[in-house]
Amino acid sequence: MKRDLLSFAIWSADQLSEVFTITEQLKSGARPDYKPLDQRGVALVFEQESLRTNVSFQVGIAQLGGHPIFLEQETIGMATRESVHDIGLVLSQYTALIIARTIKHQTCAQLAESSSVPVINALTDLLHPCQILSDAFTLRELGMLAPSTKIVFLGQGNNIANSWLEFAEKVPIHLVLSCPQGYEPHAQILEQARAAGVSRIEFVADPLEAVTGADVLYTDVWPELHGGLDAGRRAQVFRPYQVNKGLLKNARSDCVVMHRLPANRGEEITSEVLDGKQSVVLHQASNRLHSQKGIMAAMLAAAHL
């Protein structure tokens, strides 16, 4: 049965755990001859720039025996030269998987609706499930993926924050969101995560209060601060949420710092912290390769492809 990864909505905790198990096996080299994509193509449909997602998927596809086919918007003209619906239908005839990094979440959803092969959301304006699975796997490796682990997300309530909330709806963690007023996560996603009652979810506007006793500090890029009439106001609003040495002192002494990258050094995070001993940012980036492979393998197995 085809299973898409647009969000975590149709994924159970056991299925997410299965992804972690496969990821661990592939990373450890326990399955060196496992090639579920042998002689098969995988389409990467990207409307947006990408480094880690693009490279980790392309290398991962090759390591699983497949052939990555990178398709930029300029090449295929999705929704301009050809409809999203038709592109999904056609790519299903050629490839085993479709990996889509689209500007609008609805575009990715439309691809999944028309495609007969699994579709993976590699980032939209609403969600970034692949990143969060990789980050959760990183915490699992560090022995920190537990109901008592206090994960504090600081800054704009964006697609990363939304996907952490969706994850918390399935897997028990202690998630604290600290965002300026007007920049909170998606209201419905937040409500659903709280209603599930799986995780402890808090909203603490004051960043100093939020990070007190934190096991994990997670930040991401802020809204554009250098353009528009209110750029100066936005910069002032977000400045207290910067992850710097002073803020980090309020967390636990063994707290780790996470960032999905790319980072705007000196804005949401300082270089001192990003490159510091408590940063696991490169560990996160490295695990994108292994996690993407685990995701693809689990979806292929579910679809019996």
96 vs 92: CA distance, rounded Å: 7
Residue 150: strand, helix, or coil: strand
In CATH, the architecture of 13-128+286-303 is 3-Layer(aba) Sandwich (3.40)
Helix 52-63 vs helix 281-303: crossing angle, to nearest 10 = 50
Does residue 265 contact residue 241 with C-beta atoms inside 8 Å? no
pLDDT above 70 (res 305): no
Residue 223: pLDDT band with limits 50, 70, 90 = confident
* Residues whose CB is less than 8 angstroms from the CB of residue 73 and which lie 6 or more positions away in sequence, other chains included: 46, 47
258 vs 281: CA distance, rounded Å: 5
Residues spanned by CATH 3.40.50.1370 within the chain? 13-128+286-303, 143-279
Structure tokens given for 18: 């299965």
Structure tokens given for 142: 């560090």
**pLDDT, averaged across the chain:** 95
Pairing of strands 119-121, 256-259: unpaired
Does residue 217 contact residue 281 with C-beta atoms inside 8 Å? no
Pairing of strands 119-121, 216-219: unpaired
pLDDT in tens, 176-210: 999 999 999 999 999 999 999 999 999 999 999 99
Residue 229: pLDDT band with limits 50, 70, 90 = low
Nearest to 132 by CA among 158, 108, 156: 158
- Strand-pairing partners, residue 218, are 153, 258
* Helical (H) or strand (E) element with 44: strand 41-46
In CATH, the architecture of 143-279 is 3-Layer(aba) Sandwich (3.40)
Strands (E) in 144-231, as ranges, are 150-154, 174-178, 200-203, 216-219
pLDDT higher for 2 or 213?
Answer: 213
Nearest to 153 by CA among 130, 134, 170, 174: 174
pLDDT in tens, 129-180: 999 999 999 999 999 999 999 999 999 999 999 999 999 999 999 999 999 9
pLDDT above 70 (res 127): yes
Q: Measured between alpha carbons, how far is residue 303 from residues 62, 81, 289, 298 in Å?
A: 20, 30, 22, 9
pTM passes above 0.75: yes
Does residue 193 contact residue 9 with C-beta atoms inside 8 Å? no
b/e map 8-43, b = 16+ CB within 10 Å: beebeeeebebbbebbebbbeeeeeebebbeebebb
pLDDT above 90 (res 294): yes
